[in-house]
Structure 1
Amino acid sequence: METPENRRTDTPARQALDALVDNHEDIAALNMLAGSEVLVPVPDDASEEDATDPGTVALPVLEQPGGEAMVPVFTSEPAMAALLPFIGRYRLVPLGALAAQWPADELSLTIDAGSPHPLTLTSEGVRTLLAR
């Protein structure tokens, strides 16, 4: 039986993030990250159609101190629950596919915010590093 304590947290995306702590230019880790799936929380105000449509993903946009907009994604359910314990729905999305359609505005992406090794990328960084 799967419980919160035994859910897998050492995912390929998490392994890539840990490798990037030691070497920010690790091409193998960036490729692994771009090819990994992440959990994208479904915003509370998203309709059921938006939450399940395979052609679109409703992005949860959080405003950071200073007014900057950021989209949080996570490498595992425990990582998501640690920061956003009340999220009831999420989508599993290939990070590279998400990055390939990333908006052109100043929207940043944070992977595993609140973890020991989060990664935050600017809008340009998302498109250039992860859209492979």
Structure 2
Amino acid sequence: MDISSNDNATAAAERALSALAENAEDGAALDTLAGSDVLVPVPDDADDEAAGDPTVVALPVIEQPDGEPLVPVFTSELRMAELLPSVSRYRLVPLGMLAAQWPSSDVSLSIDASAPHGLTLSSQGVRTLLVRPHA
């Protein structure tokens, strides 16, 4: 059975998330995660022109029960479908690039929220943990 490079990348990202659940300061796991691509759902209210522009990523902000804003991203279509089955469009974005351009406002990031290895980071955590120096 052949495993595609995308499946390998998804598995690596999920292993990194599991490692971070055990040790939030695991540098190798943070590097792997920051170098991974994630699926960013395209908000329903995004127009077709913006959705098709590769230079624009509209963040799908969800309000948590406590009122705090959260952006969900996913390591695979399966993980996304578990939490947001109605999503019909998404963008594949390098997580490190997304983190480098994270809004300065208090918006959290949730990676694979429905999975046992899910990780939620505060706005500051996104910028300090996932913006990795280039080797």
CA distance in 2, matches of 1:106, 1:129: 15
TM-score, structure 1 as length reference: 0.91
Aligned residue pairs total: 126
**1:11-54 deviations in Å (ceiling 9; x for gaps):** 32111101112211100000000000000000000011211212
Alpha-carbon RMSD:
1.4
Deviation at 1:8, TM superposition (A): 4.0
1:109 alignment partner, SS class? strand
Residue 93 of structure 1 aligns with which residue?
A: 93
SS at match of 1:71: strand
Note the residue ranges of structure 2 that are not aligned, 5 or more in a row: 1-5
2-side partners of 1:68 and 1:52: how far apart? 29
3-state SS of paired residue (1:11):
helix
1:37 maps to 37
Identity of aligned residues (%): 65
Cα distance in 2 for partners of 1:127, 1:55 equals: 20
Greater than 6 Å deviation, 4+ residue runs: none
SS at match of 2:87: coil
Code of the aligned partner of 2:56: T
Q: Who is 2:106 aligned against?
A: 106
Contact 1:11-1:76 within 8 A present in 2 as well? no
* Deviation readout 1:57-103 (Å, 9 max, x if unpaired): 00000000110000000000100000000100000000000000000
1:123 aligns with 123
Contact map agreement 2:21 2:119 (CA 8 A) in 1: no
Q: Which residue of 2 aligns with 1:4?
A: none
